[in-house]
Structure 1
């Protein structure tokens, strides 16, 4: 009966014999002492080779693991970069949409023009009054931008810019005729013609730099009058020249 040690030794001899090309161990096997002495170095060699191979594979596995971890880190960094770029693109898109909306609004606000007269069915005069009175031109020829209010006679600047205003006054000569142009309630320019034996005319024009919300209107002076004829001889007009 063979002991476990003998079995292990016999297995090792089989491996060594197979590698060396020997197939008949019964015929060629030397005595036990000689076999033990000749096989032990070969077994140790195999073990050393296997140990070296395992060590090499372990090193390769560690290197592969390190590479995979590095790739995973780069992948996470790439995903983070892509997400950051997506966020940046969304912000850029939002900013562009906002700018486009503002440009559209500015473009719409930059179209400002009005021209108006008096709405009457028969010829008459407005005035004279004992106090200065704002003229309300309620017959509107054009009011692009709706900056002029025909219910109050007041123009309100929708945007900051340079505006041009013109007005023409026509009246009979029994009283003086004219009107003052006011900015935010303050006098700017005036147009006036004295009493005469015939119909009288006067006109005025001015360009003003206005801030958004500034107001402009015409005010009939004390003791003066203007015609409100069906022919619309008296008019008040204004327009935005350019933005500031």
Structure 2
């Protein structure tokens, strides 16, 4: 733009100079005189100047066209950039929404995880409490068979059966020498017992708690086969109470290596 202004200023100066020459100012010639050489020189100078001006104008026009093309390209690039920016902004908004959704899901998962951890911690505490209770809780269980000798009885008086074949005696509460179970702690206990006979006779036994008979079972074998009977009972015992099996007088039982008669018991829970 500065070059164009300079060119216009030069053109104005030349026009002013030409006008002064036509008026004869500064030549010293009288009015009516005609200088052929001066007119020729002036015409050549004006022609050269017009050519230069046209060249300058053409250069300015080419520059203007070039600038316009550049501006159009810049505008196109700007439009493309704006479109890309708009697309990027949309993508950024979409990413923000996805991140917000993901954050919400993560927060919900963390809350669930916290609740789950709290439940796990509570469950672990309950398990630990149960383990402590079980560790403090006495373990009592026994099971024993009567004998391998075969027939036992009948006798002329009641006798306490001594189950000498001990299979299990956790807590050592059962004494195979006396046949008596002694409660180590106050609690509720379960007992199971039976009788078996191959001879033609009455068979049966009785369950005693301390000195009280709690249950009696009996059966009569009238054939050449066998007779059997069984039962069970849950008893609440105090520490030191005893439980045992009695064979009534005139009753008989039979046991051998098949372990046909069993006396068992265990602690359900202490009190």
User: TM-score when scaled to structure 2?
Assistant: 0.49
The match for 1:190 is 216
The match for 2:172 is 146
Q: 1:107 to 1:212 in 2, by over 3 A?
A: farther
Task: Quote how far apart the aligned CAs of 1:173 are.
Answer: 3.8
Alignment of 1:127-146 (within 5 A): 127-146=153-172
Task: Quote how far apart the aligned CAs of 1:106 are.
Answer: 8.0
Judge conservation of contact 1:109–1:145 (CA < 8 Å) in 2: no
Task: Quote how far apart the aligned CAs of 1:109 are.
Answer: 5.5
The match for 1:169 is 195
Task: Quote how far apart the aligned CAs of 1:152 are.
Answer: 0.3
Task: Quote how far apart the aligned CAs of 1:216 are.
Answer: 0.2
Task: Quote how far apart the aligned CAs of 1:110 are.
Answer: 2.1
Judge conservation of contact 1:114–1:239 (CA < 8 Å) in 2: yes
State which structure, 1 or 2, has the greater radius of gyration over its C-alpha atoms: 2
Alpha-carbon distance in structure 1 between the residues aligned to 2:195 and 2:235:
20
Alpha-carbon distance in structure 2 between the residues aligned to 1:106 and 1:157:
18
Judge conservation of contact 1:169–1:201 (CA < 8 Å) in 2: yes
The match for 2:183 is 157
Alpha-carbon distance in structure 2 between the residues aligned to 1:174 and 1:204:
22
Task: Quote how far apart the aligned CAs of 1:191 are.
Answer: 1.1
The match for 2:243 is 216
Secondary structure of 1:131 counterpart: coil
Task: Quote how far apart the aligned CAs of 1:107 are.
Answer: 3.8
Judge conservation of contact 2:193–2:261 (CA < 8 Å) in 1: yes
Q: Over the residues paired in the alignment, what is the CA RMSD in angstroms? A: 1.9
Judge conservation of contact 1:109–1:159 (CA < 8 Å) in 2: no
Judge conservation of contact 2:197–2:221 (CA < 8 Å) in 1: no
Task: Quote how far apart the aligned CAs of 1:205 are.
Answer: 0.4
Alpha-carbon distance in structure 2 between the residues aligned to 1:207 and 1:238:
9
Q: 1:239 to 1:202 in 2, by over 3 A?
A: same
Matched, 1:180 2:210: no
The runs of 5 or more residues in structure 1 that have no matched partner are 1-102
User: TM-score when scaled to structure 1?
Assistant: 0.54
The match for 1:118 is 146
Q: Deviations over 1:18-50 (max 9, x none)?
A: xxxxxxxxxxxxxxxxxxxxxxxxxxxxxxxxx
More relative contact order in 1 or in 2 (CA 8 Å, sep 6+)? 1
Secondary structure of 1:174 counterpart: coil
